[in-house]
Amino acid sequence: MFQDLPPTVDTVTVQAARLAPSPTDAAFSVVRVDEAIATAPRVDEALTAVPGVQLFRRTSSVAANPTTQGLSVRSIAGSGAGRTLVTLDGAPQNDPFGGWVIWSGLPPVSLEGALIVRGAGAGPYGAGALTGVVQLSERTRVPSGGDYEIFAGERGLVGGQGAFATGDLFLAGGWQRTDGWTPVRSGRGAADKPLAYEAGSAVVRYAPTLGATDLSIRASAFEERRDSGLDGAASRATGASLSFALAGRSPGLGTQWRAQVWTRTSDLENISVSVAPGRATTTPANNQFGTPSIGVGANAALRMDRGDGGWEIGGDVRYADGETREQFSYLAGAFTRGRVAGGSQTVGGLYGEAWSERGLWLLTGGVRIDRWASFGGSRQERILATGASALDVSPADAEGWQPTARAAIRREGPVMFRAAAYAGFRPPALNELHRPFRVGNDITEANPGLEPEVLYGGELGIGGEGAWRWSTTVFATRLEGAVTNVTIGAGPGTLAIPGFLPSVFVPAGGVLRQRQNAGDIDAIGLEASVERQWGETFSFRLAGAWTQAEFDGGSAAPQLTGLRPAQTPEITATADLAWRPWSPLKLGVQIRYEGQRYEDDLNSRSLGAATTLDLRADWRLNRKAGLWLALDNVTDQAVETGETADGTESFDAPRTLRIGIRLTP
């Protein structure tokens, strides 16, 4: 639920058509995030406070380009497309073209929590659940008068969000804007600008109960605009979604069932620039004026739960289609080339899973088979002045079958024990297959020949309940066919690209990379947490993750063998403390540490370790109103988020003061 609702407030309940939590979840590494979502400025910031969970880069969605907002649950290897499936009441939230998640489309006030399943493989979740899955749940209980928040802060931050329910109707939305901060500090020039940001979203859900069946019809839309930190560089993302779900009981055939169909549309506009020496000026490099895409899918499940065991069978199918439309090759004050590139993709599968509870023991196992296909790909480039064709190629279609499975066991007791083994896979996103991009003077080319990534893993966990709650998990995984940006060479000069594509000119201070299945990544890790609560007065939680990840490039990319994957920290840790000195006042402290990571695949650009301290105070004025005050990055830590080939460093937000008021009339 949203933060600290007074117990005397009447609420309206609007059911969501969802299955009850699966009994098998307890056998895997599961983390629940509830209150943190209520108090975080954005949903991704609440999720990435869990050690090992990360966006591709260190920056949150307030500053990260949409193409780098993909989520990964374990620090095995970062990816802009993300290696984790994110769902909202069963419907995938990953972009149909890029695989990333536009977090501004999920206002925190609209959610009641998230269940993070680390590892676990494809199982009932399907393609994309490579390193895990994040199951978001939309809010079902809202104060009878609604739940509203307005806030403001330094550097022009203003915004608000709210949720309202009546009868079978649920409404929610949010909006915020900020002037942002300039990420480059040392060596800053006139070309460096603040990361300004503005985003808004809205949700409506109609969820009547039809006898023993729950119906849920949900529609949402979002738009965000951002400046990218360089003069002339900016992006705009828009999208909408619609879903229909039915859930109910079916005595005799099963105890629960659910069916859902959904569709998502999205579009991304992105303007990138090249930077002159001395960072005095910029020159347009690429104008991606549209990336229209659509995703359509369906899923269904039937579950029999007898109390001491049961089974679940089901399946899902997804279709995605999209293309990038852009202008590039800027010469003599104008773009000289145009490009349209894209294609289609399908993936679908069937699964079956069973479990048995025998005394203190829970045993579960399941199998899944998926069929994937990428088809209809093309890349056309033309000379804008004449309309003449400069490139017209159609990559070969690709398809295949992918079996996966998972099994786990758990024993309850004063000391809990569990073990699990699993497999998952992720087909490359249309963005990775077809869309090249540019950041400053660095160029990354697409690769229509990419094949799916497959992960195999296993883990052991122990834990205990009581005054102190604690858990420890050790895991080992192998990610085969890892898609990563492989460095081909540095500018200035014209460099050849492996495959069917032409050569590319790379300016001074830049490098050329291409997405490739660059071999395998082996990782071992340790995740641990301990927490305790002293009544309503004080609570404490400490959690950390250590991951040793290493590339085995083989013959595909021997230069990467022995290196750590880009954007992959070895150690992350979070400490949370909450103190309520008296009933209306709650004080919170969060300390986050992240170890050193590398900007690039060759481990030549190091991003230093960083520790940040955040403070928050919530004051309940009465049953209808409350104030909060937050101070982020109290020590004004310089958190390095990027480094270019010429050594220019970028940094995350400086110390920031925010204040807000919450109303439950």
Predicted model pTM: 0.94
Q: How does pLDDT run across 209-248, given as a tens digit for each residue?
A: 988 899 999 999 999 999 999 999 999 999 999 999 999 9
Which pLDDT score is estimated for 9? Answer: 61
Q: String of b and e for 562-596 (b: at least 16 CB within 10 Å)? A: ebbbbbbbbbbbbebebebeeeeebebebebbbbe
The whole-angstrom separation of Cα 649 and Cα 597 is 14
The angle at the Cα of 85, spanning 430 to 16, to the nearest 5 degrees, equals 120
Distance, C-alpha 69 to centroid of its chain: 6
Q: H or E segment at 520? A: strand 520-534
Residue 115 near residue 30, CB atoms below 8 Å: yes
The whole-angstrom separation of Cα 315 and Cα 305 is 18
The whole-angstrom separation of Cα 181 and Cα 229 is 8
Residue 488 near residue 421, CB atoms below 8 Å: no
Q: H or E segment at 113? A: strand 111-118
Residue 474 near residue 460, CB atoms below 8 Å: yes
Q: Is the dihedral of CA 53, 54, 58, 60 positive or negative?
A: negative
Q: How many CB atoms lie within 10 A of CB 536?
A: 10
Which pLDDT score is estimated for 490? Answer: 85
354 dihedral zone (left: phi>0; alpha: psi -120 to 50; beta): beta
- Which residues of the chain are under the pLDDT cut of 70? 1-9, 252, 500-501
* DSSP letter string, 604-657: -SEE--EEEEEEEEEEEEETTEEEEEEEESTT----EEEE-TT--EEE----EE
Rg value, the chain, Cα: 24
The whole-angstrom separation of Cα 318 and Cα 262 is 9
Among the listed residues 233, 163, 248, 230, the one whose alpha carbon sits nearest the alpha carbon of residue 194:
230
Which class does domain 11-663 fall in? mainly beta
* φ/ψ (deg, to 5) at 45: -70, -30
The whole-angstrom separation of Cα 413 and Cα 373 is 46
Which pLDDT score is estimated for 1? Answer: 31
Whose tokens are 């004025």? That residue is 621
Residue 409 near residue 403, CB atoms below 8 Å: no
Per-domain residue ranges of the chain? 11-663
The whole-angstrom separation of Cα 73 and Cα 133 is 7
Q: Residue length, the chain?
A: 665
How far apart, in Å, do the first and last CA atoms of the chain sit? 17
**H-only helix segments in 405-461:** 430-434
The whole-angstrom separation of Cα 96 and Cα 429 is 8
The whole-angstrom separation of Cα 412 and Cα 465 is 10
The whole-angstrom separation of Cα 94 and Cα 91 is 9
Q: How many CB atoms lie within 10 A of CB 212?
A: 10
Residue 509 in 3-state DSSP?
Answer: coil
**458 token code pair:** 């296993």
